A and B are shown apart, each in its own frame.
Chain A
Amino acid sequence: MSDDILTVVLVVLGITSAGICLVAAYRAAEIGRGLVSRVHRNRAYWTAVMLGTLMIGFSDPLPGTLGVDLGMIAYVLFLLLVLPFVDGAILAAEDTDFFHRDTLRWRRLRKPVFAVYYATYATLLVSTFGPSTSPVVAFLSNISPGLFVVPGYAIATLVLVARRTADRNLKWYVGYLGVGLAWLVGSVFLYNPSSIPSSTAEQAVIVVGLYFFYRAVMSLSPLGRIEKEVATTSDQTPHVGGLP
């Protein structure tokens, strides 16, 4: 297949990725707006924010063509937002645990965990963008891999608390997130910006991964469809709602 055709396919896949993220983020925000409980509402809103971040990162299949590295911007944002996103899901899942267990002591430790994470995040930023000759920056760049331990602890807590809850929709939500994440991580192995076929295959895998994120959004809360009302001949009862 010629590179021109693959480039067109690549751009279409990029637009598809952006479209999936946009629709999913909108749906998540709408679901959040409809919920009353603060923890469930926050989970929906943080899901919308994360999808917006993914849209920034995955909708530019031809890096550099827009004059800015969207992937790097999305990566920085993702690291900034991943912890509150997972925390929101954990709190919503614990809310549905009838025994109100503090899984892996998350509720007790979340504030210090947040503090440690963002302190380490700041060091990562400094070590990435700071002057390379500074010994302080060199030291900070050695400890910044510890950043990834905290989200790992949060994700482990989320998986455990999802196993404990009886809420099937929440279990599906966590499951779809996991599968989607696996596909997105898998796409990294196809990363080769100098090869159009590899980039196309990578973008196709990303589209599949983002579709699973969309399915996760649809699992935030069961959605019904308004049934069409059948008019009765003796109109003794109020007929409101559901009628065009």
Chain B
Amino acid sequence: MASTGVPTLDNLLGSDGYPDRSSILVVGPPGIGKEVLGYWFVRSGLVQGDYCLFATHRPVSDVLRDMKGVGVSTERVPEWISSSGSPIMCDLRDATSISFNIKEAVHRNKERRVRVATDVLSPLLVLNPVESMYSYWSQLLSDLKQQDSVVLALAEDGMHPPNTLTTMEQLFDGVIEMKLYEEGLAITPLFRVKKMLGLPPLHGYFRFSVSSTGMEVVPHVR
């Protein structure tokens, strides 16, 4: 299993992390903290000696600043594919090059376990027809899973029609949804595991908190 990087989440999944050779989709609105799961996932991989690749539409400097802000150490950093600050560029207008670069980077490191975290799914879905993106991601995930890799993709809730994300969820072995929920007058950030490869349905909601010391996940009790 590939540790999520968040010990309480590993316990929650009951299997010490995400399944090997799997793809996980994390869906949530802007600002909810989806990226934090990606940061901890990559950090955990670096500590364990995995090859880690972070494909992002943001500049490397922005991502590093965010990582420090949520307590993720940047002593070791993944290989980057980004809009600026990395040798391999992420051009959202050229989806083919993004896929090629990810696959090439993973193939170069096929002797190691690989972790790929990416936030380019939503921008590519916005810029391209959903049908072509379905094939695109299907091929990319299939290729990556043939290597010993775990892929964590982040998607923005609120930027796509609901049926678009539902369609894309079918491609992934695990889906985690993060959202703000109303409980009377209070508003609470919760997430739920909609599905996860190898696990029985995980009912219920889980409260998460992010601070400069890390992320914590606990079952939510009303």
Contacts and interface: CB of A to CB of B under 8 A. Distances in A.
B70 interface: yes
Interface stretch (B73-81, B98-106, B151-159, B166-174): B151-159
A154 B75 CA distance: 38
Interface stretch (B15-23, B40-48, B128-136, B183-191): B183-191
A112 interface: no
B126 A221 contact: no
Contact of A36 (B70, B190, B192): B70
A40 B30 contact: yes
B144 to A, nearest CB: 22
A225 B182 contact: yes
Interface residues of B, number: 46
B158 A37 contact: no
> Interface size class for chain A?
35 or more
Contacts of A222: 29, 157-158, 179-180
B206 interface: yes
Interface string B182-222: 11011111101000000011111111001000000001111
Contacts, number: 133
Interface string A213-234: 0000000011111100100000
Nearest to B14: A238
B92 A229 contact: no
Nearest to B204: A241
A226 B200 contact: no
Contacts of B29: 169, 221-222
A243 interface: yes
Interface of B: 29-33, 36, 57-59, 69-70, 83, 92, 122-123, 126-127, 156-159, 179-183, 185-190, 192, 200-207, 210, 219-222
Interface of A: 26-27, 30-31, 33-41, 92, 95-96, 98-100, 166-170, 221-226, 229, 236-244
Closest 3 CB pairs of A and B: A40-B31, A36-B33, A241-B204
28 contacts: A30-B187, A33-B187, A34-B187, A34-B189, A35-B180, A36-B32, A36-B210, A37-B31, A38-B69, A40-B31, A96-B159, A98-B127, A167-B30, A170-B30, A221-B29, A221-B30, A221-B180, A223-B187, A224-B179, A224-B181, A226-B190, A229-B204, A237-B200, A237-B201, A239-B204, A242-B205, A243-B204, A243-B221
